[in-house]
C-alpha cells in the first residue's frame, strides 16, 4: 500500500492494483465531514481533465483533476442552500463539460412526500469556480415524481435533460382512470443551459424507477430506458429526441409486475455507432449484456460478467473507437468492480478484469474514456472514492 496524504477535503493514496490497472488514486472526505452518499458523477472534458460531482451534507460539490486523479482542486459547493439530493443506487448527479468550458450539472431532488421530487440544474461559466443558482426543470407544478434524470450535450451549446415523470399518472388517476408506469419528459437548450425549452413528453408507460441514459449522436440525442410493453413486459426502448422515433431495443420478454431498479447504459462512439448495456431476467435470456447498433442493424447480445456473482448495473463509455464497460459483482466476501474494453469499436474485447474490491457498501463503477485513455471511478463506504486507470492494450 502506498503512502497517503490528507488535505482539507480529500485523503489521497496511490497503489498498484495488477497489470490491468495502473496507479489507483483514493479520495475520501475528512473525519467529521458527515456520511457522504455513494453515487458520484464523473466526466472527462476535451482537455482530458477529470471532473467529479458528489453529494455531502445535502450539497453538491464539484472538483477537477488535471493529472488523472492524483490531485483534485478544492471542491466548490454548487449551492449554499442544502437540499435532499438523490445520490445512491440507480440515481446519481450528472456532470458534463462543453467545449467552451461551461460545466453543466443535473440531479434529482427528493421532496418530503414519499416518491416525489424535482429535476434540478445548475451550470458554471467560469471553469467551476462558481455556479448559477439551481433551477427546477420540470414545469408542471405537481408534487409528484420527477426523477432518474439523464443529460447529454453536443459540446457546442446543445443540451438535453430527460427524466421519469409522474404527472400523467397523477392526472389520469385524478380523473378516475388507471395508468401503468411513468412517463418520460425532457427539456432542451441551445445555449449551454442559459435557457431551456418547455417540458416535452417523449413516452408514456415506462418503468417507474430504472435509471435512464442519454447520448448525443450525429442525428441528435438518443435515449435508452426500460419500457412497459403489454401488461408486465419490461424491456428496453430507444428513441431519437429530435425525431421522436422509437424502437424496441431488447426482446428479452422480462415479465415482472414491479420495477427492477436496474436501468441500462448508452454511449455513442466516434463513428456514430451506439453501444448499450443492460440487465434482464427475461424468458429469452437472463443476465448482463452488451449490444452494438450501427447502420440500422444490431449485434447479437454479448453476455457480460458472472451471473453467479450477481453481475449487474453496468455502464458504458465511448470515444473514437475505444469502448469501456464496467459493472459490479459480489464475490461472497465483498463487492468487486469489473471492466473490459475494446479499441476497435466493439468488434473485439479484452478479457474482463477485476479492477478493485470493496469490503463495505459500494457504488456502481463509472467508466470514462476520451479515446486515448480510460478510467473507472468507484466510490465505496470503506475505501472512499477511487480513480482506477485502465491500460488500453489491444484485445487478444
In this prediction, residue 183 has a pLDDT band, given cuts at 50, 70 and 90, of: very high
**Given the C-alpha cell 451471473, which residue does it identify?**
307
Q: What is the mean pLDDT of residues 126-151?
A: 97
Q: What is the mean pLDDT of residues 220-244?
A: 96
The reported pLDDT for the residue numbered 36 is 62
Q: H helices within the chain, ranges in order?
A: 167-174
pLDDT averaged over every residue in the chain? 91
In this prediction, residue 393 has a pLDDT band, given cuts at 50, 70 and 90, of: confident
Neighbours of 360 (CB within 10 A): 11
DSSP one-letter code for 255:
B
Share of the chain above pLDDT 70, in %: 90
Q: Which three cell numbers stand for residue 247?
A: 424502437
Question: Residue 35 in contact with residue 360, Cβ under 8 Å?
Answer: no
The reported pLDDT for the residue numbered 395 is 53
| DSSP string for residues in 7-74 | -SS-EEEEEE--TTB-EEEEEEPPTTS-PPPS--EEEE-TT--EEEEEEETTEEEEEEESSTTSS-PP
The reported pLDDT for the residue numbered 233 is 96
Please give the residue that has the higher pLDDT: either 2 or 335.
Answer: 335
Please report how many Cα atoms fall inside a 13 Å half-sphere around the Cα of residue 141, on the Cβ side: 0
pLDDT value at 214 more than 70: yes
CA-CA distance, 108 to 314, in Å (whole number)? 20
Q: What is the mean pLDDT of residues 367-393?
A: 95
For residue 152, the Cα-to-chain-centroid distance in whole angstroms is 11
The reported pLDDT for the residue numbered 20 is 40
For residue 196, the Cα-to-chain-centroid distance in whole angstroms is 22
Share of the chain above pLDDT 90, in %: 87
The reported pLDDT for the residue numbered 25 is 61
pLDDT value at 257 more than 80: yes
CA-CA distance, 147 to 108, in Å (whole number)? 5
CA distances to 282, 346, 360 from 302, rounded to whole Å, are 15, 11, 30
pLDDT value at 278 more than 50: yes
The reported pLDDT for the residue numbered 135 is 98
Per-residue pLDDT reduced to its tens digit, 32-87: 344 568 999 999 999 999 999 999 989 999 999 999 999 999 999 999 999 999 99
Neighbours of 225 (CB within 10 A): 27
Fold of 31-390: Neuraminidase (2.120.10)
Per-residue pLDDT reduced to its tens digit, 91-116: 999 999 999 999 999 999 999 999 99
Per-residue pLDDT reduced to its tens digit, 113-127: 999 999 999 999 999
Please give the residue that has the higher pLDDT: either 164 or 3.
Answer: 164
CA-CA distance, 309 to 332, in Å (whole number)? 8
Label residue 366 exposed, middle or buried (CB < 10 Å: 0-12, 13-18, 19+). Answer: buried
Question: Residue 146 in contact with residue 169, Cβ under 8 Å?
Answer: no
| Residue spans per domain, the chain | 31-390
In this prediction, residue 1 has a pLDDT band, given cuts at 50, 70 and 90, of: very low
Q: What is the mean pLDDT of residues 307-318?
A: 97
Following CA atoms 144, 148, 231, 276 in sequence, which dihedral angle do they give, to the nearest 10 degrees?
170
Angle at 162 between CA 157 and CA 164, to 5 degrees: 170
**Choice among 12-16, 185-189, 256-260 with the minimum mean pLDDT:** 12-16
Question: Residue 81 in contact with residue 97, Cβ under 8 Å?
Answer: no
According to DSSP, the residues that pair with 104 across neighbouring strands are: 96, 123
The reported pLDDT for the residue numbered 12 is 30
Amino acid at each position: 500500500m502506498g503512502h497517503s496524504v490528507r488535505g482539507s477535503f480529500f485523503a489521497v493514496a496511490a497503489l498498484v492494483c495488477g497489470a490491468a490497472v495502473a496507479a489507483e488514486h483514493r479520495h475520501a472526505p475528512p473525519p467529521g465531514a458527515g456520511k457522504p452518499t455513494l453515487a458520484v458523477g464523473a466526466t472527462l472534458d476535451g482537455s482530458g481533465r477529470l471532473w467529479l460531482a458528489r453529494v455531502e451534507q445535502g450539497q453538491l460539490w464539484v472538483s477537477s483533476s488535471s493529472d488523472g486523479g492524483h490531485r483534485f482542486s478544492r471542491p466548490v459547493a454548487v449551492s449554499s442552500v442544502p437540499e435532499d439530493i438523490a445520490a445512491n443506487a440507480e440515481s446519481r448527479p450528472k456532470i458534463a463539460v462543453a467545449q467552451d468550458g461551461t460545466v453543466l450539472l443535473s440531479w434529482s431532488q427528493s421532496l418530503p412526500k414519499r416518491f416525489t421530487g424535482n429535476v434540478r440544474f445548475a451550470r458554471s461559466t467560469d471553469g467551476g469556480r462558481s455556479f448559477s443558482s439551481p433551477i427546477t426543470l420540470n414545469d408542471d407544478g405537481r408534487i409528484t415524481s420527477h426523477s432518474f434524470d439523464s443529460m447529454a450535450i453536443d459540446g457546442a451549446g446543445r443540451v438535453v435533460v430527460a427524466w421519469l415523470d409522474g404527472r400523467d399518472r397523477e392526472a389520469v388517476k385524478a380523473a378516475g382512470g388507471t395508468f401503468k408506469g411513468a412517463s418520460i419528459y425532457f427539456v432542451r437548450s441551445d445555449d449551454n443551459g442559459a435557457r431551456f425549452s418547455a417540458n416535452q413528453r417523449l413516452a408514456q408507460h415506462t418503468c417507474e424507477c430504472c435509471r435512464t441514459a442519454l447520448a448525443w449522436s450525429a442525428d441528435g440525442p438518443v435515449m435508452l430506458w426500460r419500457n412497459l410493453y403489454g401488461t408486465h413486459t419490461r424491456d428496453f426502448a430507444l428513441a431519437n429526441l429530435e425525431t421522436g422515433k422509437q424502437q424496441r431495443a431488447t426482446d428479452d420478454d422480462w415479465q415482472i409486475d414491479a420495477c427492477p431498479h436496474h436501468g441500462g447504459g448508452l454511449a455513442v462512439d466516434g463513428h456514430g455507432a451506439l453501444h448499450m448495456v443492460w440487465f434482464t431476467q427475461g424468458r429469452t435470456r437472463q443476465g448482463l449484456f452488451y449490444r452494438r447498433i450501427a447502420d440500422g442493424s444490431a449485434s447479437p447480445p454479448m453476455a457480460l460478467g458472472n451471473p453467479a456473482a450477481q453481475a449487474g448495473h453496468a455502464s458504458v463509455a465511448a470515444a473514437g473507437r475505444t469502448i469501456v464497460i464496467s459493472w459490479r459483482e459480489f464475490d461472497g466476501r465483498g463487492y468487486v468492480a469489473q471492466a473490459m474494453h475494446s479499441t476497435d469499436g466493439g468488434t473485439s474485447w479484452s478479457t474482463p478484469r477485476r479492477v478493485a474490491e470493496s469490503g463495505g457498501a459500494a457504488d456502481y463503477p463509472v467508466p470514462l474514456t476520451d479515446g486515448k485513455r480510460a478510467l473507472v471511478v468507484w466510490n465505496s463506504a470503506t475505501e472512499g472514492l477511487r480513480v482506477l486507470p485502465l491500460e488500453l492494450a489491444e484485445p487478444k
